[in-house]
């Protein structure tokens, strides 16, 4: 978008965002009058933000443990949108660049671009989207609705907010597929159409910023934290991903189980086998493990199943007649404390590894894994996913696939932020963790 286009829409300032390794969206703002210069040269930002944690302190990890050094945040104006929910504002994602305008090693968006290009080199085209769950509380901490979950009663308490939200998103160019009040008090969910992987991660950031803006207009604050009330149902950030070659969905129309092609199953098998490490990327906060519990549709077990909402990897086949378009993989064990660019990039990298290795899927789980005996779970290759951030970080440290996908500087910085988070909350109770993280994302 050009300065003239923004000006015609009444835009006065551009919010340029990056998401750091703590999952927090950071921003720099410029007046629209500076757009041409910023589009060419970016704006300065300290190099150390790859080491930032949820407490706004920095982990000690080279080369991000030095106050010297600068990078440029270069806005991607092809992805810029007018923030219709916040009059006078526009938004754009940035690429983190060196002063020579080359991607810095810790640019999460550039990591995703590299992985997408690797997929394209094998003839694969990928589509993705995030489900966005948020919990809305008023100034007194009361939930915006009191249930029952998914009910018309809850909808009646949110109807004006939801209509304003959808109108704002659609005016900003986001295609909304569905929305509803969710299970927990004050919780809502919105689903948007799949896009290319980078666009899907960008949309995740934009949708959340729009929810924040509309919430304020209605007297609410929106929390995207994985746990908002200790012991309650948390907010998820489920990822949907499909892979295509020559216009064919590789998760439909094939000879395998439920129509999967060999490469479709191999991709899914690669993701499934890597889930213990992937959880550190997609559920990267101490608070994540307050949500990731059995029998809450959080995907707490390393297993797959067709339309099984307790499986960490759910195969969605779609209704009769639309499988070729709708078949996709849903990863349910992730939440919105994660960096969306690293989440999708890591999923693709492990899926590509699965194709390269000819991976297959084990036996399907059709019920709640918690109801199965240890012998049954072992026979099916199913186990409980990490119950703490430390456990998932240990699995991530051992992943050569994810180290290669991120690159050593990014990988080490990401691990350092995770270790700092573990230390930060080492003696915290669940209620303390929730209270300290409720408004961080």
In the chain, domain spans = 113-437
Distance CA 111, CA 197 (A): 11
**pLDDT of amino acid 68:** 80
Tokens of 431: 């209620």
Q: How much is the pLDDT for 97?
A: 96
CA distance 385 to 299: 9
Interstrand relation of 13-19 and 89-97 (parallel, antiparallel or unpaired): parallel
Mapping DSSP to helix (H, G, I), strand (E, B) and coil, where does residue 50 land?
helix
CA distance 105 to 110: 8
What's the longest Cα–Cα distance across the chain?
Answer: 66
Q: Return d(Cα 135, Cα 225) in angstroms, integer.
A: 8
CB 117 within 8 A of CB 126: no
Cα dist. 308→297, 305, 354, 400 in Å? 9, 5, 22, 30
In whole angstroms, give the CA distance from residue 138 to residue 150. Answer: 20
DSSP string, 55-106: TS-B---TTSS-S--EEEEEE-TTS-EE-TTSTTEEEEEEEEE-TTS-B-TT
Q: Strands 301-306 and 311-316, how do they pair?
A: parallel
| Residues comprising the chain, all counted | 441
Q: What is the pLDDT of residue 47?
A: 85
Rg (CA), the chain: 21
How far, in Å, CA of 416 to CA of 411, rounded? 9
Contact between residue 261 and residue 254 where contact means Cβ atoms under 8 Å apart: yes
Query: Residue 322: its pLDDT value, please?
Result: 80
Q: pLDDT digit of tens for each residue in the chain (441 aa)?
A: 777 889 888 999 999 999 999 999 999 999 999 999 999 999 999 889 999 999 998 999 988 887 887 899 999 999 999 999 999 999 999 999 999 999 999 999 999 999 999 999 999 999 999 999 999 999 999 999 999 999 999 999 999 999 999 999 999 999 999 999 999 999 999 999 999 999 999 999 999 999 999 999 999 999 999 999 988 899 999 999 999 999 999 999 999 999 999 999 999 999 999 999 999 999 999 999 999 999 989 999 999 999 999 999 999 998 877 878 899 999 999 999 999 999 999 999 999 999 999 999 999 999 999 998 888 888 888 999 999 999 999 999 999 999 999 999 999 999 999 999 999 999 999 999 999 999 999
126: which strand partners?
Answer: 243
Alpha carbon 281 to its chain's center = 9
Nearest-angstrom CA–CA distance, 405 and 356: 14
Give the span between the Cα atoms of 273 and 140, in whole angstroms: 44
- The string of DSSP codes covering 180-223 is EE-SSTTEEEEEE--B-HHHHHHHHHHHHHHHHHHHHHTTEEEE
CA 247 to centroid of chain Cα atoms: 26
Give the chain's end-to-end CA distance (angstroms, integer). Answer: 28
198 and 113 in contact (C-beta within 8 Å)? yes
The span from the CA of 441 to the CA of 437, in Å, is: 8
Query: What is the distance between the alpha carbons of residues 270 and 352, in angstroms, rounded to a whole number?
Result: 7
Secondary structure of residue 236 in the 3-state scheme: coil
Beta strands 25-31 and 43-46, pairing class = unpaired
pLDDT value at position 379?
84
How many angstroms separate the CA atoms of 72 and 26, rounded? 14
* φ, ψ dihedrals at 277, nearest 5°: -80, -40
Q: How far apart are CA 220 and CA 437, in angstroms?
A: 17
Give the fold, CATH level 3, of 113-437: Creatine Kinase; Chain A, domain 2 (3.30.590)
Shortest CA distance to 306 belongs to which of 284, 330, 337? 330
Question: Torsion-angle region of residue 307: left (phi > 0), alpha (psi -120 to 50) or beta?
Answer: left
CA distances from 332 to 52, 104, 218, 244, 369 (A): 26, 31, 30, 21, 14
pLDDT of residue 92: 98
Task: Please report which helix (H) or strand (E) contains residue 134, including its range.
Answer: strand 125-138
Cα separation, 115 vs 260, in Å, equals: 23
* Tokens encoding 223: 């929390």
The residue ranges of DSSP E strands in 258-339, in sequence order, are 301-306, 311-316, 328-331
Cβ atoms within 10 Å, residue 123: 10
């Amino acid at each position: 978008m050009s300065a003239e286009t923004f000006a015609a829409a009444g835009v006065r300032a551009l919010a340029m965002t990056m998401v750091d390794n703590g999952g927090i969206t950071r921003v720099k703002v410029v007046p629209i009058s500076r757009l041409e210069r910023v589009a060419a040269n970016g704006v300065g930002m300290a190099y150390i933000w790859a080491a930032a944690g949820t407490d706004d302190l920095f982990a000690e990890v080279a080369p991000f443990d030095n106050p010297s050094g600068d990078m440029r945040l270069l806005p991607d104006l092809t992805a810029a949108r007018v923030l219709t929910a916040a009059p006078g504002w526009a938004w754009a994602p940035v690429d983190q660049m060196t002063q020579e305008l080359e991607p810095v090693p810790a640019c999460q968006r550039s990591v995703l671009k590299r992985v997408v290009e690797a997929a394209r080199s094998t003839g694969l085209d990928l589509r993705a989207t995030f489900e966005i769950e948020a919990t809305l509380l008023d100034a007194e901490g009361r939930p915006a609705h009191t249930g029952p979950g998914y009910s018309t009663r809850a909808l009646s308490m949110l109807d004006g907010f939801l209509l304003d939200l959808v109108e704002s998103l659609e005016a900003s160019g986001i295609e909304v597929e569905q929305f509803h009040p969710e299970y927990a008090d004050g919780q809502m969910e919105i689903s948007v159409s799949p896009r290319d992987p980078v666009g899907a991660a960008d949309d995740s950031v934009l949708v959340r910023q729009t929810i924040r803006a509309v919430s304020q207009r209605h007297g609410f604050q929106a929390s995207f934290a994985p746990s908002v009330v200790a012991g309650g149902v948390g907010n998820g950030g489920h990822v949907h991903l499909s892979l295509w070659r020559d216009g064919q969905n590789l998760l439909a129309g094939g000879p395998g189980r439920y129509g999967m092609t060999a490469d479709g199953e191999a991709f899914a098998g690669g993701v499934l086998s890597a889930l213990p490490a992937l959880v550190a990327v997609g559920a990267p906060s101490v608070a994540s493990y307050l949500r990731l519990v059995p029998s809450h549709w959080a995907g707490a077990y390393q297993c797959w199943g067709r339309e099984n909402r307790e499986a960490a990897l759910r195969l969605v086949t779609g209704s009769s007649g639309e499988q070729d378009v709708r078949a996709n993989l849903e990863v349910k064990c992730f939440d919105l404390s994660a960096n969306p660019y690293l989440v999708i990039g890591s999923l693709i990298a492990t899926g590509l590894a699965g194709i390269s290795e000819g991976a297959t899927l084990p036996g399907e789980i059709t019920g709640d894994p918690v109801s199965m005996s240890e012998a049954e779970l072992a026979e099916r290759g199913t186990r409980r996913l990490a119950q703490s951030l430390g456990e998932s970080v240990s699995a991530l440290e051992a992943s050569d696939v994810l180290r290669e996908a991120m690159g050593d500087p990014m990988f080490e910085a990401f691990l350092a932020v995770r270790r700092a988070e573990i230390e930060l909350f080492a003696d915290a109770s669940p209620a303390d963790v929730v209270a300290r993280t409720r408004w961080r994302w």
